[in-house]
Chain A
C-alpha cells in the first residue's frame, strides 16, 4: 500500500519534471515557501522600522529595491510580505477544502431535498462576482487580515462544493460504497474514508488553480485598504501606497506588483500542469 503510494508520487514527480512550465511554477511556489520561512535570514533590514531621513530612496546597493515613503526597505518588506501571502492562501485553503468537500459530498451522497437546498445556497454564492462579495464581507467585518481570510474563504468554497458533489455522484452507486453501507458504515465514514481519497486529486488541482485568484483577491483587498493593516507588509497594500509617489518612486508600485504576478502565475502554471497530468484531454 505504502509502496504503491510512493510509486504514484514518483510517477507524478516524473510527469511534473517533464512539463517545464509546470515545473517552473512548482519551483516558484517552493521558492515562496522558502522565502516566507527564512524571511528573517533573507531580509537585510527591519521591515517595519521607519527612518524618514531615508524616505523614497531609489534602488541601491544598500536598499536593493529602494525605500518607501517611511524610509522602510522595500526588499525586506517584500520578503516578509511573502509570509502574509502564504498565510492568507494557506489559511483560506485549510478553511475551504473541508467545508467545500463536506457540503458538496453531503449533497451528492444524500441527494433529494438536501441536495437541492445545499446546491441552491452554493449557486447564490457563485452568482456574485467574488471580489465584490469579499468586499462586502470585509466591509462588514472590518479591515484586517483575519477578516480578509474569512471574506475570501466565503467566495472560494462554492466551486469546491460543486466539484465534490459531482465527484461524489460518480461514486455514489459504486459497488464498494454499497458494500461499505451493507457492512453498516455511517455516512461520515463513507464520505471521509472512501470518497475523500477518490476526490482528493481533482480537488487539489482545483485548489491550486484557485490559489492564484485567492492571491489576486487578497491583493485587491489589500489595495483597497481592507486586507492586512499597516505596518504589516502586504504586497497589495504596498502597491497601493506607492501610487501616491508613482512619478517620483516607480519602484514602490512596480516591485510588489511583479511579486504578485509571479506567484499567481506560478500557481496557474502548476495547476495547469497538474491538470494536464491527471486529465490529459485538454493538453
Chain B
C-alpha cells in the first residue's frame, strides 16, 4: 500500500499542496454548513418555547398597547425568515440578548463564566489522556492478562457511572465525612479576588502572580471535579487506544520488527505508537467535546461557577436567552474542536495528504 502511495505523490509536490488546500477549503465549507445548522437548531428551539417571549420581557401586568409595541419591537410580527436573518445578524455581533436573571448581556455573562469551564475541562482531559492512553496501550499489549481485565472493568465502570451521582458521593465521603476537600466553588472565600490575571484561569494566574497559597487552594478545589470528569474521559480514551493499538499489533510490520529481534518496548513505542498518534489526537478532541456534557452536571454538583452551572440555573429560571446562548457556545466549541482535530489529522497523517 505504501509503495503505490509514495510513487503517486512523488511527481509534483505543487499538485499535492493544491489538493491539500482544496481539502482544507472543503472542511471549512462543512464547518460553515454545520454552524448554520446549529444556528437553525437554536433558532427553532427558541421559537418552540411555550412561554410567550413578550410576557417574559414586560411581565403579565402590562396593558395591551405595551404588549403590541414590544411585540413589534422584538420583530415578532416579521416573517420567520426575516426573524432568522435578524437572529444571524445578532449572533454575528455576539448579541445573544439579555439574561432575565442576571440582567446582563448574555455574551458578557458567557465571557465571565467560560474560563472556569475551560480550566476544568482542560484539566480533566489532561487527566483522562494521561491515564487513559497508557492504560489502553498496556492492556492491548498484555491482552487477556489481569491488567487487561482490570482496565476493561475500570473503563466499563467509567462508562456506566452517572457522573452527577459520583460527584455527590465524593462530596458526601471526602467533604462531609473526612473534610479532605472543600465542598464547592473555585476558591475559599478569603482567597477570592486575590489574583486577577490575564488568563482567568485561577491556577495559571496564581502561578504568574506567584500567589502559591491561592494556587494550592484552587488546586484543592478543582481536584475532585477534575478527577471525576477525568475518570469519565479516561474510560473512553483507554478503550479507544486499546483497540487502535490492537489494530497496529496485528500488522505485518510488527511481525517483521519482531523477526529482526527488536524488543517489545521498541516495537510498541517506536513503531506502533507512532502510527496511532494522530488517531489518538482525534479521540482526545472527541473526549474534550464529550466532557462539555459532563461539566454541565458536575458544575451543578460542585457549584463550580462555569458555563454548565450558568446553563442549568438559566434552565431553572426559564431564562431562554441565556440557555440558547450557552448551548450555542457549547456547539461552537465542539465544532471548533472537531475542525482542529480534522485539520491536524490531515496535516500529520501522511496517508491523508
Residues in A lying within 8 Å of B, measured CB to CB: 120-121, 123-124, 127-133, 135-137, 139-142, 212, 216, 219-220, 223-226, 236, 239-240, 242-243, 246-247, 250, 253-254, 256-257, 260-261, 264-265, 268-269, 272, 282
Query: How many angstroms between the C-alpha atoms of A223 and B297 in the bound complex?
Result: 9
Query: How many angstroms between the C-alpha atoms of A120 and B41 in the bound complex?
Result: 13
Distance (whole angstroms) from the CB of B276 to the closest CB of chain A = 15
11 pairs, A vs B, C-beta closer than 8 Å: A135-B327, A136-B324, A137-B45, A139-B323, A220-B164, A223-B297, A236-B162, A239-B165, A257-B168, A261-B157, A261-B160
B292, A132: Cβ atoms closer than 8 Å = yes
A269, B311: Cβ atoms closer than 8 Å = no
With a CB–CB cut-off of 8 A, which chain A residues contact B315?
135, 139, 224, 226
Grouping DSSP codes into helix (H, G, I), strand (E, B) and loop, the A interface class, with mixed when no group exceeds half, is: helix
Question: Which residue of chain B has the shortest Cβ distance to A129 in the bound complex?
Answer: B293
B334, A127: Cβ atoms closer than 8 Å = yes
With a CB–CB cut-off of 8 A, which chain A residues contact B34?
120, 123-124, 127
Q: Does B229 count as interface, using CB distance less than 8 angstroms?
A: no
Query: How many angstroms between the C-alpha atoms of A225 and B312 in the bound complex?
Result: 10
Query: How many angstroms between the C-alpha atoms of A121 and B34 in the bound complex?
Result: 8
Residues in B lying within 8 Å of A, measured CB to CB: 30, 33-34, 37-38, 41-42, 45-46, 48-50, 156-157, 159-166, 168-169, 171-172, 176, 243, 246, 289-290, 292-293, 296-297, 300-301, 311-312, 315-316, 318, 320, 323-324, 327, 330-331, 334-335, 338
With a CB–CB cut-off of 8 A, which chain B residues contact A268?
156, 159-160
With a CB–CB cut-off of 8 A, which chain B residues contact A220?
162-164, 296-297
* A127, A136, A140, A212: most-surrounded residue (chain B CB, <10 A): A136
Q: A120-B37, A124-B34, A139-B323 are in contact. Are A129 and B168 (CB under 8 A)?
A: no
Distance (whole angstroms) from the CB of A214 to the closest CB of chain B = 12
With a CB–CB cut-off of 8 A, which chain A residues contact B323?
135-136, 139
With a CB–CB cut-off of 8 A, which chain B residues contact A240?
164
Question: Which residue of chain B has the shortest Cβ distance to A219 in the bound complex?
Answer: B162
B293, A132: Cβ atoms closer than 8 Å = yes
A254, B169: Cβ atoms closer than 8 Å = yes
With a CB–CB cut-off of 8 A, which chain B residues contact A239?
162, 164-165, 168
Query: How many angstroms between the C-alpha atoms of A272 and B243 in the bound complex?
Result: 13
A139, B165: Cβ atoms closer than 8 Å = no
* B156, B162, B311: most-surrounded residue (chain A CB, <10 A): B162
B311, A135: Cβ atoms closer than 8 Å = yes
A264, B160: Cβ atoms closer than 8 Å = yes
B38, A127: Cβ atoms closer than 8 Å = yes
A261, B289: Cβ atoms closer than 8 Å = no
With a CB–CB cut-off of 8 A, which chain B residues contact A135?
296, 311, 315, 323, 327
Beyond A130-B293, A132-B311: 15 further Cβ-contacts under 8 Å?
A120-B34, A127-B338, A129-B293, A129-B334, A139-B315, A140-B46, A141-B50, A212-B160, A219-B164, A225-B316, A239-B162, A250-B172, A253-B169, A261-B160, A269-B156
Contact of A120 among B33, B48, B316 (CB under 8 A): B33
Contact of A124 among B37, B166, B330 (CB under 8 A): B37
With a CB–CB cut-off of 8 A, which chain A residues contact B46?
140
Question: Which residue of chain A has the shortest Cβ distance to B308 in the bound complex?
Answer: A132
B243, A261: Cβ atoms closer than 8 Å = no
A246, B168: Cβ atoms closer than 8 Å = yes
A246, B176: Cβ atoms closer than 8 Å = yes
A253, B165: Cβ atoms closer than 8 Å = yes
Question: Which residue of chain A has the shortest Cβ distance to B51 in the bound complex?
Answer: A142
Question: Which residue of chain A has the shortest Cβ distance to B315 in the bound complex?
Answer: A139
Question: Which residue of chain B has the shortest Cβ distance to A138 in the bound complex?
Answer: B315
